[in-house]
Structures are given as structure tokens and as C-alpha cells.
Amino acid sequence: MISLYHPGTSWLHRLPAGGKLIALAVVSLALMSQTSLPMLGAALGVTLVLYRSLGPGWVGRLAVIRSLLPLALVLLAFHGLTGDWLLGAAVALRLVVLMTLANLVTLTTRMDAMLAAVEPLFRPLSLFGISPRVPSLAVVLVIRFVPVLHQVQLALREAWQARGGRKSSWRIVPPLIIQALKLADHVADALSARGGASGMVPSSGAMARQTESV
């Protein structure tokens, strides 16, 4: 599988994974009820400045915005039809801001560091005999699967268009589901070969190699 992580030496790369995840959660909660377009616009501006701090090539890492535009337009149109264009614009802009911020965290955080940061949240489950590595690994795999499936969807759509199809079609859904199941089987086999979640050893070097190879 591919990983969203981009190696770098920026200050965002050097921040601890736990701190970035907490900051993302706090900002997300603060913006969830925000409907002020100036405030959301300012949040987007700050987000772009954070991307700029990554150095050369930062514009290319904003590709997530392009993939969000169709959904944002749908949200805008839906609220417009109900007579509230301003609310629709706020909802669409909030979606773009939150997704670009989440993308920024994954761009600057290694998967092994994210796993180590998430695992303590599930330690209370050990009281019930459940290893905290199991749910924490599930969270990390979800984070990895989202961009992978998005790339698969884009590839299927391009293949459909190359055959003369329309810009979008429900016909790419069945092959997308098949590819998702194949990826799930591949990951399951890889984890089984490593002994499941218990095979994710705590040492950072070994964990990094295992996570990057999944």
C-alpha cells in the first residue's frame, strides 16, 4: 500500500504525533459549529500557510482539495436549493478545511508514530482482556486505507472515461468494492504472517518497517 507520509525536516515533521492529533481534534471541535465565512476563510488561510511551511512541492500536496470539490459543490447546491446559500458555503468550506488539516497531519506523521500515539487511548481496554494494539492498529489501517481507496477510485474513473464513459458512473462501484476486498485480504495475510496485532513490536525501527510494508 502507499502511504500519505512524506519524509521531511520541517517543524511540523518534528512535532510529536500525539500533539498533532490532539491539536487536530481541538480544531475540529472548534470548527464543527462554526458558520462564519470570514472565520472559516481565515482557518483555510492558516492551513495554507502550514502547507507552505513544508517547503518546495507543497502545492502538489494540496491535491486533496481537488478531490473534495465535487462533494463541496453538492453540499453547496443542496443548501442553496433549501434557500440558505451562506450555510451551504460554510458547510462546504468547513469540509475543505477539516480534510486539508487531517491530510496535513498524515503528510507529516509516520504511521509507527501515529500508532504509538493512538495506543494509549485504548489501554483501559486491557482491563477487559483486550489488547490496546488491536483497536489502535485498526485506526491506523483506516487512515491508510482511505487514500489508497481514493486512488483506486480515481484510477477506475479514468479507465471508465478512457473507454468513452461519462465523467462519473455507478458502474465503477462494483470493481471498487472488489479492489477493496482484495486489499483487505492482502492486509489480513500480511498481518497474519506477522502474528496479528501482537506482531507489531514496540521498537520504533521494527514497527516502522512493518507499518510501511502493510
- pLDDT 10s digits, 119-137: 888 888 888 888 888 788 7
Residue 117 near residue 212 (C-beta atoms within 8 A): no
Give me the DSSP letters along 90-118: HHHHHHHHHHHHHHHHHHTS-HHHHHHHH
Three-state secondary-structure class, residue 157: helix
| Of the candidate ranges 28-42, 86-100, 109-123, 149-163, the one whose mean pLDDT is the lowest | 149-163
Both 6 and 105 in a single domain?
A: yes
The reported pLDDT for the residue numbered 49 is 94
Same domain for 176 and 205: yes
Residue 76: predicted pLDDT: 85
> Do 85 and 189 fall into the same domain?
no
Q: Which domain holds residue 14?
A: 1-109
Residue 183: is its pLDDT beyond 80? Answer: no
Q: Which pLDDT score is estimated for 190?
A: 72
Quick one: 183 and 105 in the same domain?
Answer: no
pTM to 2 decimals? 0.68
The pLDDT tens digits for 71-104 are 788 888 888 888 888 888 998 899 889 888 988 9
Based on the fold, state whether residues 103 and 119 are members of the same structural domain.
Answer: no
Q: Are 150 and 67 in contact (CB under 8 A)?
A: yes
Residue ending a domain, choose from 94, 109, 124: 109
Give me the residue label for grid cell 480534510. Answer: 99
Q: Are residues 71 and 17 in the same domain?
A: yes
Same domain, 74 and 157: no
**Same domain, yes or no: 199 and 178:** yes
Buried (b) or exposed (e) across 46-79, using 16+ Cβ within 10 A? Answer: ebbebbeebeeebeebeebbeebeeebeebbeeb
Report yes or no: 5 and 109 within 8 Å, Cβ to Cβ.
Answer: yes
Same domain, 103 and 124: no
* Per-residue model confidence (pLDDT) at position 197: 55
Domain count, the chain: 2
